[in-house]
């Protein structure tokens, strides 16, 4: 990779960045664009969210991924504290992944053509 080339934005790249930059204890990132890296949804669990409302949590995420978000088309995040995540996981039986609004049964965004 050339020095001026930016790394590809992938699920793994975003997950690693969130774990490092937000002290996240659990991260799920899903590429909803069919592999082109243009649309992602995520579930982020971090103790950094404790005591912060939803807006402040999302601002933390957006600041942590400022450069990456500028390079993609769409980004959504579900932000939880470790306690909130544990409670929801217990209540849902583990079906507490990232928001999938607007996706079809194959996990692709409705209206996207390949």
Total count of residues recorded for the chain? 114
Domains of the chain: 11-92 (3.30.300.90)
The tokens describing 4, both together, are: 């001026």
- Average confidence score pLDDT of the chain: 84
pLDDT at position 1: 47
Rg (alpha carbons) of the chain, rounded to whole number: 15
Structure-model confidence comparison of residues 31 and 45, the more confident one:
45
Contact between 76 and 41 under an 8 Å Cβ cutoff? The reply is yes
The larger pLDDT score, comparing residue 4 to residue 20, is at 20
Phi then psi dihedrals of residue 95, to 5 deg: -90, 70
Q: What is the pLDDT of residues 63-109, one digit of tens each?
A: 999 999 999 989 999 999 999 999 998 887 766 566 555 555 555 55
Ranges 34-38, 49-53, 104-108: which has the least confidence: 104-108
């Amino acid at each position: 990779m050339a020095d001026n080339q930016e790394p590809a934005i992938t699920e793994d790249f975003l997950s690693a960045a969130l774990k490092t930059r937000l002290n996240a204890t659990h991260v799920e990132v899903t590429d909803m664009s069919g592999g082109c890296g243009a649309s992602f949804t995520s579930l982020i669990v971090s103790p950094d969210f404790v005591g912060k409302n939803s807006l402040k949590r999302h601002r933390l995420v957006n600041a942590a991924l400022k450069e990456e978000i500028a390079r993609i088309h769409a980004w959504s995040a579900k932000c939880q504290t470790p306690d909130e995540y544990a409670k929801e996981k217990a209540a849902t039986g583990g079906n507490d992944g990232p928001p999938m609004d607007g996706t079809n049964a194959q996990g692709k965004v409705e209206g996207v053509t390949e």
